[in-house]
Structure 1
Amino acid sequence: MFHAPSPSIRVRPPPGPVDAELSPPGSKSLTNRALILAALATGRSTLRGCLDSDDTRAMLAAIARFGLAHELHNNATTVTLTGNGGPPSQLADPTRPIDVATAGTAARFLTAVLAASPLTALVDGSPRMRERPMEGLLRALRDQGAQIRCLAADDLLPFEISGTRLRGGEIRLPRPPSSQFISALILAAALADAPTHIVLEQGTPARPYVDMTLATLRDFGGDARWHDHNTITITPAPLRARDYTIEPDASAASYLLAIPAIFGGRVTVPALGSRSIQGDAEFCQVLARMGAAVDRAPDHTTVTGTGRLDGAILDLADMPDMTLTAAVLALHARGRSEIHNVEVLRHHESDRLAAAATELRKLGAAVQELPGGLIIDPPLTPTRDVAIDTYLDHRMAMAFSLAGHLEIRDPACVTKTFPRYFDVLRQLGMIAA
């Protein structure tokens, strides 16, 4: 799969303090969870506020291959979908692989659902997705009765899945490299013959994403919950279609809320507040710790710049996707910042810790790269007019667009989760001619 780089774009700080209400698109994580659950449910679901992006299109394309009709409305932000009332039972053109592209959610969730389906299917993805770990997930699904044959490297995409009725019972996992493994097993367990108990022997990274999966499954009629701190119990139950509203994407909101913290002014993100089920919505607390003023209500979040950011020691284990935003905040802060417990980022769209360290150094920061984090000593003033490489990683492009006067290479990678991101910056006067 060849990716032709898109033309670079030049960004700059806003021309003055920002005063804006900005709405990110719908949550990628919630959209792909709701899509797969609607496909498994009985009846016709309407999903509102969906994200239309590369990742969600990969999920929708797979669902269409299962013979499930869907319609798109309101610029593809509303999806109506008639479910199968259980696991997929047919697959169009079965010799053609299901292409998950770069979408980790699609890769892990579809693999689990196909393992619980009476089908044989091929699954493949982008070159980077072929490098991302799958081993613990595949082992657990094989132990549950599915047959999975890897077609290249062991325990990596591409592979052939011959699904079956999964047996349930106990699944024991060491700490997985991604919370998506656990979320995928929860989805598969909802289709099993008997209750399943997932025992997390060493916990999980990004636990709020697991909580999100449990909450969304229950919203569609499933029965899944924490039995104790490290055990999840899933009891198979019929899934029911429903009307479901997707929250704005809290990860995408982090870039918008960081703008006034860095450059001054005020930004409000509506419909994303203390009621959010997204763990990344807690990033506003990081902004407050570093010196921004935060007003958080149940249904909105407002951040106001105070004119000063201070370095902080941050444990981002529960919100690792916020690491790059925090790293760019650290570039503008006074004093050292430390980010810890985000080793999971080694296996994302890029090795985000190595990529962030490289690009921060271009901007004049002194960076120590840890196995699971970064120590950042900012420059007095970030170096101007450097070219930032994005590594085909949407979060690198969006976070580093807030670093100052610079060039972002291959900005189109943001289509993975926030296709209009640079349009929003243009409205704020942050795109240089």
Structure 2
Amino acid sequence: MQSGDDVRTSLWVGPGPACDRVPRIPGSKSLTNRALLLAALARGRSSISGWLDADDTRLMVAALRALDVSITGGDDPGQPLQIDGRGGPLRCDHAPTLQVGTAGTVARFLLAAVAASPGVFVLDGSARMRERPMGGLVAALRDRGAVLTALERADALPLRSGPHPAALRGGTIVLERPASSQFVSALAFAGLLADAPLEIVLREGTPARPYVDMTLAVIRSFGGEARWSAADRILVTPTVLTAMPYRVEPDASAATYFLAQAAIYGGSCRIDALGHDSLQGDAAFVHVLGRMGAQVEQRGDVTVLHGGAALQGGTFALDDMPDTALTLAVVALFARGPTHITGVGVLRHHESDRLAAAACELRKLGAGVEVFDDGLRITPPSARPEQPVAIDTYDDHRMAMAFSLAGAVEIRDPACVAKTFPGYFDELARLGVPVQRTPG
């Protein structure tokens, strides 16, 4: 596991003030990339407002443009993107190599889309993305007739898609528990382009089911037919999608850092346009902080947290919101008693092995940490280190943002937050958190 020892610049981040916060949260990465792909498949021009401008979404935009999808706008902050959809499968006169970087959504979603499209395409990504699971998705697409060839390691990037002898077949795909909910979402996208309805059977459920619910909801927003037909199966009907204006919600995962800061240091945090009506499962994380002792109010489109009360540890199953686990792991440093996080084994296969990485950095801060297959048990330190602790971020945006909450820490490789929240540290500073650049 790589660390940030070679990083030449770092940021020192101090404790948060006890103040009233109304942070500016960027658009949801998950919703942005879903909307971009669906707009590309739709007939007509779609407008996407509130979109996230960050590395992961720019990778999706670049890949779609490489597939001859016209995407304009977005040059100024707040300006919508305009996407001229293809009205069906993606087509290209040449055989492009689509670079997905470290973006799992781009890799999985685009693989499914090109596997259901004519032509030959190659997908490749970063060294870490080449290590991340793809096999279950590859096998499912091959079962429906897609021709997918691994160019180096079996069932891993880089992969060549096509030429396919015929359209992707509908029918039934049976999955054991997939390595990622993105596999299920990707198959739902592929089902829109199949030659007959596609049923996805999940024998052992899926990690992070709210992300699958989100996918089905966004598909329906573009006029598609995709629904849970039973507790363990999804039915997708091939559909020509309809272009539309789509508004992206603020990113609920990003909001967790500001909510947690208020829970730890006091004051309040208000998140506008994000409440219990959100499509994002991570919007429910505020109730985890409520169980720990924070005062929480959540309505349809707003979330408010008042901190200052003593926080209590406990056991928290985060199966439906694994991206919040690192936030909770750092909050656990400030709780009374141990905090046991369960249901997040999927984190071993993200930008870093997040369970191992978090354990290493929490121990630097004096915590006792036990690592399990599906989570962590964290015992808060009896005393904090006297000197600022240097936190390695493992080229992982969530490690950098979560550990910035610890206070009096040096965050190495802070630029990794550009993956989903380029202005994160600027926003901390705007809200009164001490942030200073230091030489590496």
TM range, smaller chain? over 0.9
Equivalent residues of 1:11, 1:401 under 8 A apart: yes
Listed as ranges, the matches of 1:270-289 within 5 Å are 270-289=272-291
Query: What is the one-letter code of the residue matched to 1:189?
Result: G
Listed as ranges, the matches of 1:161-180 within 5 Å are 161-162=161-162, 163=164, 164-180=166-182
Match of 1:237 in 2: 239
Separation in structure 1 between the aligned mates of residue 349 and residue 382 of structure 2, nearest angstrom:
32
Match of 1:145 in 2: 145
Match of 2:52 in 1: 51
1:250 matched to 2:252? The reply is yes
Match of 1:414 in 2: 417
Match of 2:209 in 1: 207
Match of 2:123 in 1: 123
Equivalent residues of 1:9, 1:431 under 8 A apart: no
Listed as ranges, the matches of 1:380-419 within 5 Å are 380-383=382-385, 384-419=387-422
Query: What is the one-letter code of the residue matched to 1:345?
Result: L
Equivalent residues of 1:151, 1:157 under 8 A apart: yes
Query: What is the one-letter code of the residue matched to 1:301?
Result: T
Deviations 1:144-180 (A, max 9, x none): 1111110111011001110441111000001011000
SS in 2 for 1:205: coil
Match of 1:369 in 2: 371
SS in 2 for 1:83: strand
What's the CA shift for 1:6? 5.8
Separation in structure 2 between the aligned mates of residue 183 and residue 311 of structure 1, nearest angstrom:
34
Separation in structure 1 between the aligned mates of residue 238 and residue 8 of structure 2, nearest angstrom:
46
Separation in structure 2 between the aligned mates of residue 196 and residue 241 of structure 1, nearest angstrom:
22
What's the CA shift for 1:21? 1.0
Match of 1:71 in 2: 72
Separation in structure 2 between the aligned mates of residue 427 and residue 214 of structure 1, nearest angstrom:
36
Misfit runs of 4+, over 3 Å: 3-6
SS in 2 for 1:26: coil
Match of 1:348 in 2: 350
**Closer/same/farther in 2, CA of residues 124 and 173 from structure 1, 3 Å limit:** same
What's the CA shift for 1:76? 6.3
What's the CA shift for 1:31? 0.1
What's the CA shift for 1:421? 0.3
Equivalent residues of 2:224, 2:241 under 8 A apart: yes
Equivalent residues of 1:172, 1:200 under 8 A apart: yes
Match of 2:427 in 1: 424
Listed as ranges, the matches of 1:281-360 within 5 Å are 281-360=283-362
Equivalent residues of 1:52, 1:77 under 8 A apart: no
Equivalent residues of 1:46, 1:81 under 8 A apart: yes
Deviations 1:112-157 (A, max 9, x none): 0000000101110000000000000000101111111101110110
Separation in structure 2 between the aligned mates of residue 39 and residue 284 of structure 1, nearest angstrom:
34
What's the CA shift for 1:22? 1.1
Over aligned residue pairs, what C-alpha RMSD do you find? Answer: 1.3
Separation in structure 1 between the aligned mates of residue 410 and residue 92 of structure 2, nearest angstrom:
47
What's the CA shift for 1:307? 2.9
Deviations 1:320-345 (A, max 9, x none): 00100010010111101100111100
Separation in structure 1 between the aligned mates of residue 135 and residue 230 of structure 2, nearest angstrom:
25
Match of 2:113 in 1: 113
SS in 2 for 1:23: coil
Separation in structure 1 between the aligned mates of residue 376 and residue 107 of structure 2, nearest angstrom:
28
What's the CA shift for 1:354? 0.4
Match of 2:84 in 1: 82
Separation in structure 2 between the aligned mates of residue 348 and residue 77 of structure 1, nearest angstrom:
31
SS in 1 for 2:153: coil
Query: What is the one-letter code of the residue matched to 2:178?
Result: P
Separation in structure 2 between the aligned mates of residue 148 and residue 27 of structure 1, nearest angstrom:
30
Separation in structure 2 between the aligned mates of residue 432 and residue 392 of structure 1, nearest angstrom:
20
Query: What is the one-letter code of the residue matched to 1:146?
Result: A
Separation in structure 2 between the aligned mates of residue 294 and residue 91 of structure 1, nearest angstrom:
54
What's the CA shift for 1:5? 3.8
SS in 2 for 1:314: strand
Equivalent residues of 1:169, 1:196 under 8 A apart: yes
What's the CA shift for 1:91? 5.0
> How many percent of aligned residue pairs carry the same amino acid?
55
Deviations 1:13-38 (A, max 9, x none): 12x31212112100000000000000
Deviations 1:80-105 (A, max 9, x none): 1100000111155x2x5210001000
Separation in structure 1 between the aligned mates of residue 319 and residue 79 of structure 2, nearest angstrom:
31
SS in 1 for 2:160: strand
Query: What is the one-letter code of the residue matched to 1:40?
Result: L
Unaligned runs of 5+ in 1: none
Separation in structure 2 between the aligned mates of residue 120 and residue 223 of structure 1, nearest angstrom:
27
Query: What is the one-letter code of the residue matched to 2:298?
Result: R
SS in 1 for 2:65: helix
